[in-house]
Chain A
Amino acid sequence: MNRRLILLLPLLLFAGLLIFMAGNLGKPQEAVVRSHMVGKPVADFALEGVAGAPGLAASDLASGKPVLVNIFASWCLPCAVEAPQLQALKDKGATLHGIAVRDTPEKVAAFLARHGNPFQRIGNDDGGRMLIAFGASGVPETYVVDGEGIIRHQHLGEIRPEHVPELLAELEKAR
């Protein structure tokens, strides 16, 4: 091979790298951090109730039948957007429990009065520590927990109408 060409090789490699980097400059970097708790049991916890609903503890999740756990907050707009879908899930026979994150009881009560309350139990997590327990990276997130208290499925972000059958299928799978 030509010696000149070999000497040019590093420059070409560097040019290639520059082109690659320039091409990626405009891309928004939104890596979705999936929970690694899927397939693992929920850590033990006990939260006080809020808005007149009974509190939520780990034992309520290992109740023998799969449930949905919705992590929400009154200050979270997508949580209000997904409210009709939560109601639809409840109407189709799903059991829903809520965890209100970094919120006050009054605000949670007002939020539920306005958007509806599909939850059987609601845990008040004012420190936001349950997000870590579930491996959640924000609100809203919804988890399918099977009858033994093992997390089976994570839904990141708001539940849109097309996700309702998906979640019902995941509930069925966890049975």
Chain B
Amino acid sequence: MRAAAIAFLLLLGGPAAAEPPPPPDVPLADPGLEAKARGVMAELRCLTCQNQSIADSNAGQAQAMRAEVRERIAAGEQPGDVRDFFVERYGDWVSFVPPARQDTALLWLAPLLFLGVGVALVWRRIRR
């Protein structure tokens, strides 16, 4: 009896507030556009679950972002434009693809730089 009462009380004490689960994703009818949209989703960072892309996250906000991506791709925007739309609102941080700018030049040129150093070292060794 007592156990039943406790069980009943535990049932009553459910979470007072919980975020409702997000609505299910509706893929675009055109498989080509859907693939394009998914490409963008894989490159956008989820804001509430920071090391996941919005493609991998089931957070409500990620779902809203996916809906936004699909809507924009369906309206004929290019993947780059859609990414720019999010970068404009959240900064470079939201994109997994680093921008090519003057202040990120070192990042992009580093592989070439290291390759150059390697080639120079090998060259010196061969000539010796």
Contacts and interface: CB of A to CB of B under 8 A. Distances in A.
Contacts of A30: 50
Interface in A114-160: 127-129, 131-135, 137-138
A132 B47 CA distance: 10
For chain A, the bracket of interface size reads 20 to 34
B64 A127 contact: yes
B68 A129 contact: yes
B65 interface: yes
Most buried by B among A33, A34, A134, A138: A33
Interface residues of B, number: 25
Nearest to B46: A137
Interface in B61-92: 61, 63-65, 67-68, 86-91
A76 B93 contact: no
Nearest to A125: B64
A35 B90 contact: yes
A36 B89 contact: yes
A interface SS class: loop
A75 B18 contact: yes
A34 B93 CA distance: 10
Contacts of A5: none
A37 interface: yes
Interface of B: 16-20, 22, 47-48, 50-51, 60-61, 63-65, 67-68, 86-91, 93-94
9 contacts: A33-B90, A36-B89, A37-B89, A102-B19, A102-B64, A128-B61, A128-B64, A129-B67, A135-B89
Interface of A: 29-31, 33-37, 73-77, 80, 102-104, 127-129, 131-135, 137-138
